[in-house]
Amino acid sequence: MEVTKHFLARVVGLIVLPLLLYVAIFAVHFLVLNKSGPGDGFFSSAFQSRLIGNNLHNASMPEFLAYGSTITVKNLRIAGGYLHSHWHLYPEGVGAKQQQVTAYHHKDYNNLWIVQRQQNDEYPSESPELVRHGDIIRLEHKETTRNLHSHLHEAPVTKRHFQVTGYGTNGSGDANDLWKVELSGGQKGDLVKVLRSKVRFIHRASGCVLYSSGKTLPKWGWEQGEVTCSPYLKETPNSQWNIEDHINPKLPNISLSVLKPSFLEILLESHIVMIRGNSGLKPKDNEMTSKPWHWPINYQGLRFSGVNNSDYRVYLLGNPVVWWLNLASLGLYIVMVVVTSVALQRGLSLGANIIGRSAVLRGGGGLLLLGWALHYAPFYAMGRVLYYHHYFPAMLFNSMLSGITLDILLKSSDAVLQPPYCDWLQRFGQTVLLFSVFYSFYLFHPLSYGMTGPLAHEQGSTMAGLKWMDSWEF
């Protein structure tokens, strides 16, 4: 019974309460950060409908898709992006040298498409004809007037798929511009509902399906998402799209307020977007990234702002005294554990105080060492871009381990010194340690709080003489 109570107490204290606190923080986050921003396109249409200032917030638009409507088409994969095109062409050697079609995560005029019949005819003046499951349509890019097009050239990144391009002029093209509208679970004649219908676009000529691969195009494609035509017709979010914006003045509007998601839905979606966004990060031009082995030795910081002596400069760098003391403490901890463990194993008489400290060193210190390793070692296996601040959680464990190690080291002076000399040595060591930490903070604080004027290697700099490593750039 006592074991069960102890187990339940640990579950509540170490799992349930932290989880509730974590969820509560996100609840406050969603409550405070409730306005539209440049990253809206990473989220689903339903998520966007709750953001003040977004065009979907408290919006109204025609309920059913019709020919002649101007629309945006969003992929249903989380962070899948909008179907997008621009004037730039695919480069030589990348399929046909036609207009690029991509997945773009931001609101943009180049996301707009016009729904056309398969024949380029005029629309009657009366109520426009609605698009239905099984219809053959063309999607004409509003800005460039080129049709959404596919052919049997291989896609730029996903080589087993076919290339998707923009082709034709003023809506005129060829048979490769035709797409069949297919609703998930739909039957012939079913109407396409804005925001709610899951739509697939099947290429009429080749039978492939319009697809967002989730892969990033090279710099010639502005590092936007790849759009392909997949010969694999299994229904997945990558091959499903919804109609988000829908403009047609000839149709009546309905309110979109019914689409607002629940808290748990936006909590789950926000985490999926964060995970995918982090895994897809790439360094920008001239951006300073780092490697895991840089972090414990404080090899290189991260420039936040400013380059020249006329700029206001902020540079992220660990306090060198703390960083290198922590690094030394890691080695010292291992030595101390090995020495005491060997001594205890051989049955040497160490005294009650040293045996007790050894238990703290191996027990509490061991947990902190494990925490440091678990927060640091996985970065060696990561393929994504890494930054200096990724080491900070591991650094917290390292700092706590340093505290235990140095405290036990100073207290163990009673093994070689008699009172009160051992007490004096302990207090002297603590004073030197605290003074070193505070004084080093005073020396290096301009890095964090901002500095102007000459660079560190120039005369008159506030950081003169403090560039202790050539790899530091301030």
Domain-wise residue ranges, the chain: 1-32, 34-58+256-280, 60-255, 314-466
For 287, other C-beta atoms within 10 Å of its C-beta total 11
Q: Residue 398 carries which side chain, given as an amino acid letter?
A: N
User: Do 148 and 105 form a contact (C-beta atoms < 8 A)?
Assistant: no
| DSSP structure class, residue 97 | S
User: Do 208 and 151 form a contact (C-beta atoms < 8 A)?
Assistant: no
Q: What is the separation of C-alpha 359 from the centre of its chain, rounded to a whole number of angstroms?
A: 41
Q: Where are the beta strands (DSSP E) in 36-185?
A: 60-62, 70-75, 82-89, 99-104, 113-117, 136-141, 147-154, 162-167, 179-183
Low-confidence ranges of the chain (pLDDT < 50): none
Calculate the alpha carbon distances from 326 to 122, 185, 329, 428 in Å: 75, 60, 5, 19
Separation of alpha carbons 278 and 201, rounded Å: 29
| DSSP structure class, residue 348 | -
Separation of alpha carbons 302 and 389, rounded Å: 9
The H-or-E segment that residue 321 falls in is helix 320-345
Separation of alpha carbons 27 and 382, rounded Å: 30
Q: Which residues lie below 8 Å from residue 383, measured CB to CB, with a gap of 6+?
A: none
Domain range 60-255, its CATH number among 3.40.109.10, 2.80.10.50, 2.40.50.100, 2.40.30.10: 2.80.10.50
| pLDDT for position 408 | 87
User: Do 213 and 157 form a contact (C-beta atoms < 8 A)?
Assistant: yes
Pick from 157, 156, 144, 158: nearest CA to 84 = 144
| pLDDT for position 285 | 54
Separation of alpha carbons 380 and 260, rounded Å: 41
DSSP string, 367-417: HHHHHHHHHHGGGGG--S---GGGGHHHHHHHHHHHHHHHHHHHHGGGGTS
| Whether the model pTM is above 0.85 | no
| pLDDT for position 28 | 93
Separation of alpha carbons 202 and 179, rounded Å: 5
Beta bridge partners of 172: 169
Pick from 173, 235, 225: nearest CA to 204 = 173
